Amino acid sequence: MLARQFTAAGCTVVSELDQADLCVVNTCAVTAQAERKTRQQIHWLHRQNPDARIAAVGCYATLKPDTAASLPGVAWTVSNADKAHTASIVGAATQQVEGPVPATRLPPLRTRAFIKVQDGCDNHCTYCIVRFLRGASRSRPVASIVAEVQARVEDAGCREAVLAGASLGAYGRDLGVPGGLRALVETILADTDVARLRLSSLEPWDIDEAFLELWEEPRLCPQIHLPLQAGCDDTLRRMGRPITTERFARLVAAANAVIPDVAVTTDVLVGFPGESQDAFQESYRFLKRISFAKLHVFPYSPRPGTHAARLPHQVPRQVRGERAQHVRELGANQRQRFQGRFQGREMPVLWERRTRSGRWTGWTGNYIRVTAGSNADLCGKITRARLLALENGRMKGEAIL
């Protein structure tokens, strides 16, 4: 979105960082690690191109504008409230510059388009600062989303659209859209030519078993990301997560029963304040029982201004790290087991790019990364591929042309 805005304003997207006069960093503040990575990225950009001015936009710039402004090379900080107007804000301050101000290069979106359909959050998770930084849930009109998806198909050759939002499952509630996200998905599938449609993250209380009927349409990718955060009901309650492990397990079981080859992935937050060793073990056993396709694991990071940061019985940093590593090992085993189920199968793969080693890399509908050798230009093509063997966490395959 930002790259298109700068281009429309007369800027040039350059191919090399040292050619840029302006770098735009969309910052994050969801965890302390995210903040650290944001600062590292800005320091790195400044070292690589000391003459370029940097615009820090987004959550870190909203949460800590003074700190962001003090980082080397940062000339602008743009809050979430103003992020949609970044090009105008930067442009107004650079009118004295002769000629267009180039923006840094983003990877060409030839294969997958990420379509932001919603922002903001109305949930009250006690550890999370997103709703304070992003505000209340806000949805885009259906017509504009459909038009963007079709435009990305026709103009950029995108084969897959990924619907994204801070709270995607809440789509349409603020607009009174009948059917909400389900209606949006049905309309996109009916009114666009996109070859594949993927949903990003869905809170488990925002969907039910009836929602899973959407996957009767084969163009909807068989992958569902359902953030759980903890497999212990007491921890979930203190997190402010309106879900129980029993309800979550029923939803996952229904997805596995209804959607062939589905990959159910999740987020796990370990070391939440008050999480005893018994509670952690209970959570671990639940994660093991569900057997996800992939676990995204995070040690709890106190966010100033959230309720959880003020709770007693904060878990020591070292214990949080040890628990996170324990769950990551479980996740690695589950991921390998899930991918191994498809070894020897033929599956459609959307090929994205050729790696430095000369092999093509792409994704199945259920989000297994596949690599294959081919002299043909596979970029943006969906072909059948034979999945041969797991190699360093990726599936080695053979493109069938």
Q: Please give the pLDDT value at position 377.
A: 93
Question: Are residues 89 and 151 located together in one domain of the fold?
Answer: no
As a whole number, mean pLDDT of residues 259-266 equals 97
**Residue 285 included in any domain:** no
**Residue 259 included in any domain:** no
Question: Are residues 122 and 25 located together in one domain of the fold?
Answer: no
Say yes or no to pLDDT of 275 above 60: yes
Range of the domain at 365: 346-400
31-87 pLDDT, tens digit per residue, is 888 999 999 999 999 999 999 999 999 999 999 999 999 999 999 999 999 998 999
Question: Are residues 115 and 31 located together in one domain of the fold?
Answer: no
Amino acid found at 388:
L
**What strands, in cross-sheet order, belong to the sheet with 196-199?**
138-139, 112-119, 160-165, 196-199
Residue at a domain's end among 187, 202, 221 = 221
Question: Are residues 212 and 113 located together in one domain of the fold?
Answer: yes
Question: Are residues 141 and 217 located together in one domain of the fold?
Answer: yes
**Residue 251 included in any domain:** no
**Residue 25 included in any domain:** yes
Say yes or no to pLDDT of 383 above 50: yes
189-206 pLDDT, tens digit per residue, is 999 999 999 999 999 999
Question: Are residues 57 and 160 located together in one domain of the fold?
Answer: no
As a whole number, mean pLDDT of residues 243-269 equals 97
- CATH number of the domain residue 355 falls in: 2.40.50
Say yes or no to pLDDT of 9 above 90: no
Q: Please give the pLDDT value at position 101.
A: 47
**Residue 370 included in any domain:** yes
- Describe the crossing of helices 180-191 and 142-156 by its angle, rounded to 10 degrees: 40
Is-above-0.75 flag for pTM? yes
How many CB atoms are closer than 10 A to CB 81? 11
Q: Are 104 and 14 in contact (CB under 8 A)?
A: yes
**Rounded distance between C-alpha atoms, residue 185 and residue 150, angstroms:** 13
Say yes or no to pLDDT of 398 above 90: yes
Question: Are residues 136 and 191 located together in one domain of the fold?
Answer: yes
Q: Please give the pLDDT value at position 13.
A: 85
For residue 110, what pLDDT band results from cuts at 50, 70 and 90? low
How many CB atoms are closer than 10 A to CB 379? 16
**Rounded distance between C-alpha atoms, residue 309 and residue 305, angstroms:** 7
Domain count, the chain: 3
Say yes or no to pLDDT of 8 above 90: no
As a whole number, mean pLDDT of residues 323-343 equals 97
Q: Please give the pLDDT value at position 91.
A: 79
Q: Strand 394-400 relative to strand 382-391: parallel, antiparallel, unpaired? A: antiparallel
For residue 6, what pLDDT band results from cuts at 50, 70 and 90? confident
Q: What share of the chain in percent tops pLDDT 70?
A: 95
Question: Are residues 64 and 142 located together in one domain of the fold?
Answer: no
185-193: long-range pairs with CB below 8 Å, 24+: 185/214, 185/220, 186/214, 187/142, 187/146, 188/145, 188/146, 188/149, 188/161, 188/163, 189/217, 189/219, 189/220, 191/146, 191/150, 192/146, 192/149, 192/150, 192/153, 192/161, 193/150, 193/153, 193/154
Q: Please give the pLDDT value at position 98.
A: 42
Question: Are residues 149 and 193 located together in one domain of the fold?
Answer: yes
Between the alpha carbon of residue 281 and those of residues 206, 271, 311, 327, 381, the distances in Å are 27, 11, 21, 10, 44
Question: Are residues 25 and 59 located together in one domain of the fold?
Answer: yes
**Rounded distance between C-alpha atoms, residue 161 and residue 184, angstroms:** 13
Say yes or no to pLDDT of 356 above 80: yes
Q: Please give the pLDDT value at position 109.
A: 52
Query: What are 81's two structure tokens?
Result: 């409230």
Q: Please give the pLDDT value at position 97.
A: 41
Say yes or no to pLDDT of 106 above 60: no
**Residue 270 included in any domain:** no
For residue 95, what pLDDT band results from cuts at 50, 70 and 90? low
Amino acid found at 162:
V
**Residue 298 included in any domain:** no
Owner of token pair 């050619």: 19
- CATH number of the domain residue 173 falls in: 3.30.750.210
Q: Please give the pLDDT value at position 259.
A: 97
Mean pLDDT of the chain: 92
**Residue 375 included in any domain:** yes
- Of 104 and 16, more confident: 16
Q: Please give the pLDDT value at position 104.
A: 45
